[in-house]
């Protein structure tokens, strides 16, 4: 994906709609979303079930496509990209963290973190070095050879975050990253995400149901009935 002069927002949604189903089963998930996310932002996306926040995140992650409207990433119209170009965008610019960790159970923490680097075609020595560094950053030095079944929930989420940051993404998309964790582990994960945002300039977009987790973000966007209901800065982070 070609670089362009950074005179525009990193992410722009313009009039984005999304409809699932047909006839009586039709459900309008997004009803015309306008949204801008600047480089270095930390956004918490909130709203009740069915509000459209997860659909919006799937579109941002190029896991789904708008029914109408425009999605621009770094000034480039995502809807005009081929399947291979979309794969390159995900691989080179986006990092993903999921509530369910999505780790391979029979492979070590190190091998899990190396996986997206294999897809990039990096040499084995570079993959290992970057994966070890990522695990060190998230506080798992010494746990490299443990499988997910030998790790706590918080440790598994740290492996998932290490896997996401090993690719040095422009944007980290986190879907309920603390949803399966207790309050102490949740705060640790949020402090990690905050450090990536503040120290490395990674743009973070996070879906959460928890106001105390959203308080870590610079900005809170609330969805309701397929629309942006409110969009406000948080002020100082927790």
Q: How many CB atoms lie within 10 A of CB 7?
A: 6
Give the pLDDT of residue 236: 45
Q: Do residues 205 and 57 make contact, with C-beta atoms less than 8 angstroms apart?
A: yes
Q: pLDDT by residue (tens digit) across 68-107?
A: 999 999 999 999 899 999 989 998 999 999 888 889 999 9
So what's the pLDDT on residue 98?
Answer: 85
Helix (H) or strand (E) holding 198: helix 183-200
Q: What is the largest CA-CA distance in the chain?
A: 55
Please report, for the chain, the start and end positions of each structural domain, with discontinuous segments joined by +: 11-233
- Going by C-alpha positions, the residue among 31, 2, 216, 178 that lies closest to residue 98 is 178
| 154, 189 contact by CB (below 8 A) | yes
Tell me which of 3.90.1150.10, 3.40.50.720, 3.40.640.10, 3.40.50.300 is the CATH number of domain 11-233.
3.40.50.300
pLDDT in tens, 126-157: 999 999 999 999 999 999 999 999 999 999 99
Q: What pTM value is reported for the model?
A: 0.90
Q: What is the per-residue pLDDT for 101?
A: 84
Q: What mean pLDDT is predicted for residues 102-123? A: 93
Write out the two tokens for 70: 């425009």
Token pair in block for residue 43: 């956004």
Buried b (16+ CB within 10 A) or exposed e, 151-185: beebbbbbbbbbbbbbbebbbbbbbbbbbbbeeeb
Answer whether residue 119 shows pLDDT above 90: no
Q: Are 109 and 151 in contact (CB under 8 A)?
A: yes
């Amino acid at each position: 994906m070609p670089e362009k002069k950074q005179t525009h927002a990193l992410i722009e949604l313009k009039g984005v709609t999304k409809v699932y189903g047909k006839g009586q089963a039709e459900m309008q998930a997004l009803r015309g979303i306008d949204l801008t996310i600047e480089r270095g932002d930390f956004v918490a996306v909130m709203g009740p079930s069915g509000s459209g926040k997860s659909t919006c995140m799937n579109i941002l992650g190029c896991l789904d496509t708008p029914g109408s409207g425009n999605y621009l990433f770094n000034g480039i119209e995502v809807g005009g990209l081929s399947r291979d170009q979309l794969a390159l965008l995900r691989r080179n610019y986006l990092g993903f963290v999921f509530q369910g960790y999505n780790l391979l159970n029979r492979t070590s923490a190190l091998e899990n973190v190396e996986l997206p680097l294999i897809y990039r075609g990096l040499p084995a020595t570079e993959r290992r070095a970057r994966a070890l560094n990522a695990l060190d950053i998230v506080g798992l030095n010494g746990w490299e050879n443990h499988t997910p079944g030998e790790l706590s929930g918080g440790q598994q989420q740290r492996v998932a975050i290490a896997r996401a940051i090993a690719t040095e993404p422009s944007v980290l998309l986190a879907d309920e990253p603390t949803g399966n964790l207790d309050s102490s582990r949740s705060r640790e994960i949020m402090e990690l995400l905050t450090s990536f945002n503040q120290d490395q300039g990674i743009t973070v977009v996070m879906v959460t149901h928890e106001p105390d987790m959203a308080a870590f973000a610079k900005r809170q966007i609330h969805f309701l009935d397929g629309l942006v209901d409110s969009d406000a800065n948080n002020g100082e982070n927790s």
